[in-house]
Amino acid sequence: MQETQGIKKKSKERTGDAVHRLVSRFEEWNNDMYFMEVCGDRIVVNHHYSGIKILNLQLEPVDELNLFDGVMIYHAYSDGDKKRMVLYCAENGCLVPVDLAEMKSAVIPLEGAMRQTAFSPVHRWQEKELLLLDYSGNPYRVDLSEGHVRFCTEKAGMFGNTASLIRQHRLIHFEDGMLVLETPSGENIRVFDLTGRLITEVGKPEGNWHSAVYHDGGLIFASETRIVGVRNHATRFVLEPEPSEYFLKVKMTGDRHLWVLSSDPSHPEKSRISQYRV
């Protein structure tokens, strides 16, 4: 395995009035990374198909946690302050609570018809439970102490107008209580909070975007070959991959750091995480 951490790049690139700078980078061979989540001061990625690897914010590996063979992470529900997260593994019909402080995990099996339920990224944390919505807007309660999941209509009010919004739009992303939704026409992106209040609406830039992330009043669109930051209908920054990579996932944190997971199309086993200041 070959790893490269903390590569510093002093040069800056400018697009319009925005400046983005490569701060650090982590590269790894023989690990087909497809998952990345920021949880507090940790970056969590899949470690092969059996566990997770944890890096600090300088992109230095600090720990690994084995889960089980064949784990496939569809969504991660992160409670960053408490360094806990729940992984959704639809392939194996289970939820996997992970405590990053204690480096412990458990498995909560989905029973009966719930194995066919498609849980969405929409969630709310409470002290000892996690509330989820499926893509039809139905609410579920995950009891983290008892280790079970149940349909829970009395919790529907915790999500405000979210259920009706995701029935009327295509859900693109959810994070920090913000819904990123594509309009039925497919031309615009709308951002709502959980009360149903419209925060912003922008037209999609040209391109085949696989994700859109809301942050601090703006949207970040990502495709395999381009990342574009938009605010107030103006382009803030543009990132293009190096010839040996394509973009898979992006995450933005409150300190204006953009985390980008990419892969090498000619060597799928080679993965890279880049940290930019934008």
| Model pLDDT for residues 90-99, shown as the tens digit of each residue | 999 999 999 9
18-22, 89-93, 238-242: range with lowest mean pLDDT: 18-22
pLDDT of residue 232: 84
Whole-angstrom Cα distance, residue 208 to residue 71? 28
Q: Tens of pLDDT along 74-115? A: 999 999 888 999 999 999 999 999 999 999 999 999 999 999
Q: Does the pLDDT value for residue 11 go beyond 50?
A: no
Instruction: Read off the amino acid at residue 196.
Output: G
Is a pLDDT exceeding 50 seen at residue 251? yes
Query: Which stretch of DSSP H or E encloses residue 277?
Result: strand 267-277
Nearest to 119 by CA among 130, 129, 127: 130
Q: How many CB atoms lie within 10 A of CB 181?
A: 22
Q: What is the pLDDT of residue 250?
A: 96
CB 158 within 8 A of CB 131: yes
- Of 45-54, 91-100, 265-274, the least confident: 265-274
Please calculate the CA angle 174-79-189 and round it to the nearest 5 degrees. 10
Mean pLDDT of the chain: 89
pLDDT exceeds 80 at position 63: yes
| Confidence band, pLDDT 50/70/90 cuts, at residue 267 | confident
121-144 pLDDT, tens per residue? Answer: 999 999 889 999 999 899 999 999
Share of the chain above pLDDT 70, in %: 93
pTM of the model as a whole:
0.89
Alpha-carbon distances of 239 from 19, 196, 202, 225, 276, rounded to whole Å: 11, 32, 19, 9, 10
